[in-house]
Amino acid sequence: ATPKCKYGVFFPEHTGYLYVRKLAPGNEGGVALVRSITDGMQCVRKSTHPQDHKDPESKIAEVQFHRPHPLIPCLIWSQDHKVLNIDHKDHNTFKSTVMIHKYCNGGTLYNLACWCSADPEPRKLPEALIWRMLDQRIQTWLYLINSEPSTTRLDCHMNNVFLHYEDGAKLPDFYTGDLGHAKLIDPIIWQEPSPNLFGPTAWPAFRRIGPLDRLDRIVTDPNKRQSYLGTIAEISSDFSHIWYALVALMFRIDVEENDPDDEEMRDQAKALQEWSPELFECEERIRAIKGFWEGEKFTRYNELDTLRFQIAQMAQRSAQADPQADTTSHLRSLDTFSYEDDIFGDEEFPLDGALLQEYRGAHSGSGRPCVFDSRVPLLQLASAWPEPWRIARIEENTDRVFGVEKMTYSF
């Protein structure tokens, strides 16, 4: 019998991908889970909103500042799409960028923090997981700062940290993603500004921030001085997000609605003695260091040079000793996705009951491509698919693509 033909959304970048489901709207563009048509690997496809780049050769920050590292989602492919007619004066500079990244299967650190603080009863995580999170986030953050060229992250919140479970792993790894707001660090801030080159799996050499009186000696231009202070403020802000995540998981609070410096909350947590003295002490040290911008005590940042090794040792030791360390596999379900009645999040695109049912029915929920019985609902939902895309003809039971239609639905 001839296999039944279904219809799905095909993205033409790289080896070709099929749309699975939306992951997040994103401030910079749409983000979707996709599946390769060659090897079935799940990936993340991010499509940025079109913008004028002025220079036709320029790259967006997320591509320009991407660094290969075991805890940064691999950038598999990037491709610019010109969105204006060829005769338009801005044809070569006004473009959208599509990126294909490694997919992390455990959801976001923000989801994990919400799960911990959820009513009616907050949930406690294994201490080994908290040490792992802290160790890996500091590793990656320092890697970006100490790379050449040195960069700040500037968007270090918990929604941009992704959990990934390797097969058989007791604990997830914490990946730092989305470098869309990254920017170069002015080397003037470093006490020894010469580059420290190192491999991505090795401990980085540590660049120390110079004291304020050093700046007074070497900088006479007030604008340069302001640049120095602004860069240090940005580094401090990045590091504060690491501390916020630690507080959210330890004290099981929403740090956006509660003051993480609240002394009463901290005293109550210590009284419960849920965590080791080492973890409480580490949190206090990080809390003190993250304030290095306040009062211009910049050299306090340099205490991280020794603290990072102590955290790494505790992460390794607790993963081996914590009997609860193998109880986190159920947290993978925090990546589950529920479809809202209005999938566009905008009243301009309400779905009637029949079309909504078509949309829900097209998702198997098992990581398989989103497929429809005909082109009609797929085209009616055209605004939902991040551009550019085509229609693929897909074999019903195997998801094998046996044809891609020539028509491209683009910007």
Same domain, 145 and 184: yes
Torsions phi, psi for 307 (to 5 deg): -65, -35
Q: Which amino acid is at 272?
A: L
Task: Look at residue 113 and tell me if it is in a domain.
Answer: yes
Task: Look at residue 398 and tell me if it is in a domain.
Answer: yes
Token digits of residue 176: 């730092």
Q: What's the maximum distance between 2 C-alpha atoms anywhere in the chain?
A: 83
Q: What is the dihedral sign for C-alpha 14, 18, 23, 27?
A: positive
Same domain, 348 and 387: yes
In the predicted structure, residue 72 carries a pLDDT above the cut 90 = yes
Read off the CATH number of the domain in which 84 is found: 3.30.200.20
Same domain, 239 and 272: yes
Query: In this predicted structure, what is the pLDDT of residue 101?
Result: 96
Task: Look at residue 186 and tell me if it is in a domain.
Answer: yes
Beta bridge partners of 99: 46, 78
Q: Kindly state the average pLDDT of the residues 189-196.
A: 61
Ranges assigned E (strand) in 25-133: 29-36, 42-48, 51-52, 75-82, 94-102
If pLDDT is split at 50, 70 and 90, which confidence band does 302 have? confident
Question: Residue 7 in contact with residue 405, Cβ under 8 Å?
Answer: no
Task: Look at residue 410 and tell me if it is in a domain.
Answer: no
- Candidates 214, 195, 215; CA nearest to 205 is 195
Centroid of chain to Cα 2: 43
Domain that holds residue 353: 5-103+342-404
Task: Look at residue 411 and tell me if it is in a domain.
Answer: no
Q: Using the 3D structure, point to which of 332, 358, 375 is the last residue of a domain.
A: 332
Residue-wise pLDDT tens digits, 261-277: 777 777 777 777 789 99
Same domain, 81 and 129: no
Same domain, 359 and 327: no
Question: Residue 18 in contact with residue 367, Cβ under 8 Å?
Answer: no
pTM of the model: 0.87
Same domain, 291 and 358: no
Query: In this predicted structure, what is the pLDDT of residue 75?
Result: 95
Q: How many CB atoms lie within 10 A of CB 244?
A: 18
Cis preceding-peptide flag for 126 (omega within 30 of 0): no
- The answer to which of 194-208, 218-232, 319-333, 392-406 has the lowest mean pLDDT is 194-208
Same domain, 96 and 115: no
Place of tokens 């921030």: 209
Average pLDDT of the residues of the chain:
80
Torsions phi, psi for 35 (to 5 deg): -130, 130
Which comes out higher in pLDDT, residue 24 or 330?
Answer: 24
Torsions phi, psi for 382 (to 5 deg): -55, -35
Read off the CATH number of the domain in which 278 is found: 1.10.510
Same domain, 314 and 357: no
Same domain, 393 and 280: no
Same domain, 85 and 158: no
Token digits of residue 303: 């205490």
Q: Kindly state the average pLDDT of the residues 52-62.
A: 82
Q: Report the distance separating Cα 77 and Cα 15, nearest Å.
A: 10
Task: Look at residue 282 and tell me if it is in a domain.
Answer: yes
Task: Look at residue 337 and tell me if it is in a domain.
Answer: no
- SS3 of 299-359: the string is HHHHHHHHHHHHHHHHHHHHHHHCCCCCCCHHHHHHHCCCCCCCCCCCCCCCCCHHHHHHH
Residue-wise pLDDT tens digits, 102-160: 999 888 898 888 888 876 666 788 899 999 999 999 999 988 888 777 888 777 789 88
Q: Report the distance separating Cα 161 and Cα 179, nearest Å.
A: 11
Same domain, 241 and 276: yes
If pLDDT is split at 50, 70 and 90, which confidence band does 345 have? very low
Q: Kindly state the average pLDDT of the residues 345-373.
A: 66
Greatest mean pLDDT among 61-65, 120-124, 152-156, 177-181: 61-65
Same domain, 267 and 252: yes
Which residues contact residue 345 at a Cβ distance below 8 angstroms, ignoring those fewer than 6 apart? 25
Q: Which amino acid is at 245?
A: A
In the predicted structure, residue 336 carries a pLDDT above the cut 60 = no
- Candidates 9, 52, 45; CA nearest to 30 is 45
Query: In this predicted structure, what is the pLDDT of residue 201?
Result: 46
Q: Report the distance separating Cα 225 and Cα 231, nearest Å.
A: 10
Task: Look at residue 409 and tell me if it is in a domain.
Answer: no
Question: Residue 135 in contact with residue 311, Cβ under 8 Å?
Answer: yes
Instruction: Kindly give the residue spans of alpha helices, DSSP state H, lying in 252-329.
Output: 263-272, 277-289, 304-321
Structural domain total, the chain:
2
Q: Using the 3D structure, point to which of 283, 298, 332 is the last residue of a domain.
A: 332
Q: Using the 3D structure, point to which of 301, 332, 363 is the last residue of a domain.
A: 332
